[in-house]
A and B are shown apart, each in its own frame.
Chain A
Amino acid sequence: MVDAYLRQSPLAHLHLAARATTSNALPDAGVVLAEIPYLSQFVLRGNADNQAFTAGIKKALKLPLPISPCTSSVDKTGHSHILWMGPDEWLIVGPSDDQAHINSSISTAFRNQHFSLVNVSESRTLIRLSGTQAQNLLEKGCSIDLHPSAFSPGSVVNTHLSHAHITLHRLNSIQQPTYDLYVHRSFAEYLWSWLEDAAREYGLDNRSK
């Protein structure tokens, strides 16, 4: 593999890590944002009604395939997720060094099964959003009902945030709501600018690494 320093995340141009505040530097900030680049991401397509398929995925990834719309599953470490994207579509997310593992464990899980697995790790970057004002911030550009009674931990939706299409995933955090925003890389700079702008009245703490 080529030298890692040659790699550029979609937000590399903004030098977020250099601009990031050290931990807890902004205790009053209502919004905490961070880019988490290079996660392993795969689109999985298959028939949710097929027991062999769902069981095979569970076995391969040690994670159940979320079948209910707009839900997700998460492993014990909290670092690997399967997000429901559609009735026959899921997004598998794992740590950055997990690409080969995810690919091989699923590709070898079935014989004569009609499914598809596409590596889209490069398609999107992840912006993680938390802070006391996180929900208000999202509501400035997102028409999804984000009230805890309607968007509980683990919920995931594909929707718009202002003019960008995002996959919005509320993590299973017990304390403050934390949201993962998956955004296509070509929209990433736009979305970051939008978030920074919307966060102005709340105060922004950038924790990108």
Chain B
Amino acid sequence: MAQTNRLALGGDIDRTKPVNFTFNGHHMQGYAGDTLASALIANGVRIVGRSFKYHRPRGIMAAGTEEANALVQLETGARTLANQQATRVELYEGLSATSINCWPSPDFDLMSINSWFHRLMPAGFYYKTFMWPVSGWKYYEHIIRRAAGLGKSPVEPDPDQYDHMHVHCDVLVVGGGASGISAALAAGRTGARVILVDESKDFGGQLLNEQYTINNKSASRWIEDALAELSTMEDVTVLKRTTAFGYYDHNYAGLLETRTDILTDGGDKTRQRLWHVRTKRCVLATGALERPLIFSDNDRPGVMLASAVRTYIQRYGVKPGNKAVIFTNNDDAYRTALALKEAAVKVAAIIDTRPVPDGELPTQAIAAGIEIIDNATITGVNGGRGVKSVEVMSLNAAADGVMGVARTILCDLVASSGGWNPVIHLHSHSGGKAKFDQARGIFIASETLQASECIGAANGDFLLGDCLNEGFRAGKEAASKAGFKKASRRKIPIAEHIVEHPLRLIWALPSTKSIGERGKHFLDLQHDVTAADVQLAAREGYASVEHTKRYTTLGMATDQGKTGNIPGMAVLAQALGVDNPGDVGTTTFRPPYTPVTLGAFAGRNVGVLTDPVRMTPMHHWHELAACKWEDVGQWKRPWYYPKQGESMQDAVNRECLAARNAVGILDASTLGKIDIQGPDAAEFLNRIYTNAWSKLAIGKCRYGLMLKEDGMIFDDGVTTRLGENHYLMTTTTSNAASVLGWLEEWLQTEWPDLKVYCNSVTEAWATLSICGPNARALLSEFTDDIDLTPDALPFMGMKEGTVGGIPARVFRISFTGECSFEINVPASYGLALWTQLMVAGEKYGITPYGTETMHVLRAEKGYIIVGQETDGTVMPQDLGMDWILSKKKDFIGRRSFTRPDSQRTERKKLVGLLPVNPNDILEEGGQVVAEKGDHRPIPMIGHVTSSYYSANLGRSFALAMISNGTERIGDRVYVPMDGKTITCEVTAPIFFDSEGTRLHG
């Protein structure tokens, strides 16, 4: 294909650098500097896709972020990107794009049959049709999703890299047009930290599309000089290809910077960068977006925004058509007529809805010999696959109908302009309100919750001189409010501009029949929402724009209604008989302003960096031993250590037997450890724990239970008295941080009078727990200064000394029911000691065991695990732990024991379960019922909390929480599982060594 629509001259493109690309498989060529959209126009492509609902042919309608039609699927495979606006894709060598929403091609789309049935698809069609019967949705959804989908998501992992950057500044200027550059200059000159961003590859905004003069030089020269000056300022950051996609509470903005194009291998450079910006002040110079006029069949390929037509001619050197009609309600669109004329494109006529337009621009148009048809409207656009002609009639006096004779004007391009909407999206993201300015027909920013200000076109000031002025003032003021008051003698940039006459607001332009009867007045091109849909919604009782948009899906497509929302709101207001469109509610714009790739949000939090892996000092030993891991919070803990050919059950059986018959070793370093010091430490523990601590002797340990104020179990662990006013508390692995937080909370907020300091020492110590009949013999080989005999170091005792020459604390505490020693050594010696214990322990049958074996062994003894037997609704009494509740003192949660709910007799209690068939293993979480049978519903009386096969018992067993459980001991209960119901006997929750002889041995 040749670039038939490329102009011989003009545009900011490089005609010496051709760029090859494909569109729907056709090879095409554009130039460096093109967007995909401008290159497609150059190649004479008119239809780029099909619409969402009716599958009508659609062409390019804009030149920037407001594009609603020209969505493409970019590239294929892992790098594919869905719903990319052709107007924002910079052309690069080898680009490949395909149309979306059509099959097999945009020129011949089988789904376009929908447009024949449009009368059957009114507003709220899906709600009305597929909501009954509800059970049918699962059948409909499949078909609807296939027919309605936009682009396709990639299914392979993204090969590109993204990262984040967190920065602070005094003034963030969003938008690098005349206002923004002026603001950045003024702010930067004060020495403030300034960030200036623009979404395009070039700064200048609307200046790039016009021929203006600033400070007596061309606008492009002024931009160049300004950027050069900004680059000399140390604390000014200028980011192009960067979209401020969201503006949030407390002056926090999200920016998306594109750093390389999609095919370039960035090497060590990330493809996109997400900037987190916290600014003191924000200047929103985001410009304005032109809105289309709403007339019959305004979606035909070839109907474009007037400013977009101008952009294509002046910035890209392409002509979107050969014979144009300008359709406008304002003066600005006359510039397009003049630009077309200058580019030698025929202008058939300017159709102006206003009577007798006589501003300077219309006067220039007349002088250029262009016909102006005033007080008129287009009543129809002919040409389903591209504009062929328009029907033009005069407006009646009320502008709600047409009169006279229709005139047909042949043309292939309609450049339409309904005025400009200030881009107040970011203002709105962060809670700012908008009000409707009747005179100018625009929503402008009113109250803001942030330290921000909309300026220039974003504030409805469209004239260049005003923009420069406002920018300069706002930049200076923002810097000053941020504390930078340095005066500068530099003057405000000046420019001359043409004064424009007011526009004429007619939201939905009449046709020969009433709206909806002849052709379609599209509001939202991407979601195919028409003025008739909104009027229907109003008739059906929708009064708020927030509801209407959900009902009709107006503005809910990927472009979020950048062109359609405001006319849509106005049409709704009109249908409701409300004068001020602002009174039907302004829609709240939500982030992101333009779509952000998920990869950018993820940043480098992918692969091994997704979440930290917390490692104990012995982590890499476990790794070499090829253990299977269990995730406990961010920790990796060895789950079990399978030997060659072993199943999980084989390995756990072997580990369980070794721990009870020889010696087992467990890495318990992850347990939380809190150092507690102070004269009131014992009193503090009395209040925090349910049992009494005042009489614990130095060098002794005690088990403690912590409750929340509602009486429910929060954590448990062993606390040891190290000195007169010095304790070491241990917590469960997963609650380590919460418990320290809990202690600090009470100390700081409720009992500041208590003299106690708590500090985490979790990471300071490696904890190696050895247990079993050979544990003492093994450990005695490593120490000569700690007497390990049961009399010297009995159960619940602690001694300090050396182990393997390393300073150590040895605790006689046990979670397995075996004689057990918990050895704490400085963390950096943990691996050394572990390795030596493994070597010396070989002759004793030392076996490393993981968390699974630990769980089995403790369950055999009926020891609970907080978070497994408990779930935040379990009181100590429910576990038969009344023995640990002091009656002599108050403690957190105690008062709640007498609440009516705590007194219920049918509360669930901890019991043991023995399946009648010793090979049946219950499912944890399985529901327990009292009767066997199938007469549903069967009342559930409890649930299984822990369930294992025990090699030591030679059978399966379980712990369960069962209503009235204690009274059911000896009864049979049933656990329905997949395919069968397992019969169990209820027992006391202890299965092994109930006298505790091993523990104390």
Contacts and interface: CB of A to CB of B under 8 A. Distances in A.
Direct contact of A and B (CB under 8 A): yes
Interface of A: 1-3, 6-10, 13, 37-38, 43, 45, 88, 114-116, 118-124, 136, 139-143, 145, 147, 150, 162-164, 184-191, 193-194, 197-198, 200-201
Contacts of A162: 604-605, 609
Contact of A122 (B235, B268, B278, B826): B826
B616 A197 contact: no
B268 A194 contact: no
A8 B620 CA distance: 11
Contacts of A164: 612
A147 B168 contact: yes
B165 interface: yes
A114 B755 contact: yes
A136 to B, nearest CB: 8
A204 to B, nearest CB: 10
A200 B164 contact: no
Interface in B652-696: 675, 677-679
10 contacts: A1-B805, A2-B805, A43-B759, A118-B675, A118-B759, A120-B764, A123-B762, A123-B764, A163-B611, A185-B617
A66 to B, nearest CB: 18
A122 B166 contact: no
B806 A2 contact: yes
A201 B268 contact: yes
Contact of B828 (A38, A119, A190): A38
Contacts of A2: 804-806, 829, 832
A197 B609 contact: yes
B832 A8 contact: yes
A8 B805 contact: no
B635 interface: yes
Contacts of B765: 122
B291 interface: no
Contacts of A140: 163-166, 604
Interface string B267-300: 0111000001010000000000000000000000
B163 A189 contact: no
Interface string B792-836: 000000000000111100000000000000000011111110000
Contacts of A88: 757
A186 B635 contact: yes
Contacts of B163: 140, 198
Contact of B678 (A38, A114, A139): A114
A60 B121 CA distance: 84
Contacts of B805: 1-3
A43 B828 CA distance: 18
Nearest to B620: A13
A2 B829 CA distance: 9
Contacts of A136: 165
Nearest to A150: B168
A192 to B, nearest CB: 11
Contact of A197 (B168, B604, B759, B827): B604
Given A45-B757, A193-B609, A6 B278 contact: no
A200 B266 CA distance: 12
A122 B763 contact: yes
A193 to B, nearest CB: 6
Contacts of A118: 675, 677, 759, 761
Contacts of A197: 604, 609
B763 A200 contact: no
Contacts of A142: 166
Contacts of B278: 143, 145
Nearest to A188: B615
A25 to B, nearest CB: 19
Contacts of B449: none
A147 B193 contact: yes
A122 B764 contact: yes
7 closest A-B pairs by beta carbon, nearest first, are: A6-B832, A190-B612, A186-B614, A116-B677, A2-B805, A45-B757, A145-B168
B167 interface: yes
B498 interface: no
Nearest to A163: B612
B453 to A, nearest CB: 22
A202 to B, nearest CB: 8
Interface residues of B, number: 51
A115 B830 CA distance: 29
Given A116-B675, A139-B166, A193 B826 contact: no
Interface centre among A1, A6, A13, A43 (most CB of B within 10 A): A6
A143 B166 contact: yes
B403 interface: no
Contacts of B164: 140-141
Contact of B763 (A3, A37, A184): A184
Nearest to B802: A2
Nearest to B828: A7
A194 B609 contact: yes
Contacts of B276: 143
A141 B761 CA distance: 26
B764 A121 contact: yes
A147 B194 CA distance: 13
Contacts of B677: 45, 116, 118
Given A122-B827, A163-B611, A187-B614, A7 B763 contact: no
A139 B274 CA distance: 12
A122 B765 CA distance: 7
A150 B168 CA distance: 10
A201 B165 contact: no
Contacts of B193: 147
Contacts of B679: 114
B613 interface: yes
A6 B612 contact: no
Nearest to A136: B165
Given A2-B832, A122-B826, A190 B678 contact: no
Contacts of B499: none
B608 interface: yes
Contacts of B616: 186
Contact of B604 (A3, A121, A143, A194): A194
Interface string B129-163: 00000000000000000000000000000000001
Contact of B827 (A6, A123, A145): A123
Contacts of B619: 13
A139 B167 contact: yes
A196 to B, nearest CB: 10
A64 B137 CA distance: 72
Contacts of A200: 268
Contacts of B761: 118, 120, 123
A120 B278 CA distance: 34
Contacts of B832: 2, 6-8
Contacts of B167: 139
A195 to B, nearest CB: 11
A116 B609 contact: no
Contacts of B807: 1
A120 B614 CA distance: 18
A13 B519 CA distance: 72
A115 B726 CA distance: 11
Given A141-B166, A143-B278, A123 B763 contact: yes
Contacts of A198: 163, 604
Contacts of B763: 120, 122-124, 184-186
B168 A190 contact: no
A197 B161 CA distance: 11
Interface string B587-619: 000000000000000001100110111111101
Given A9-B828, A140-B163, 10 more contacts: A2-B804, A10-B828, A43-B759, A115-B757, A122-B765, A140-B164, A145-B168, A189-B613, A190-B609, A190-B612
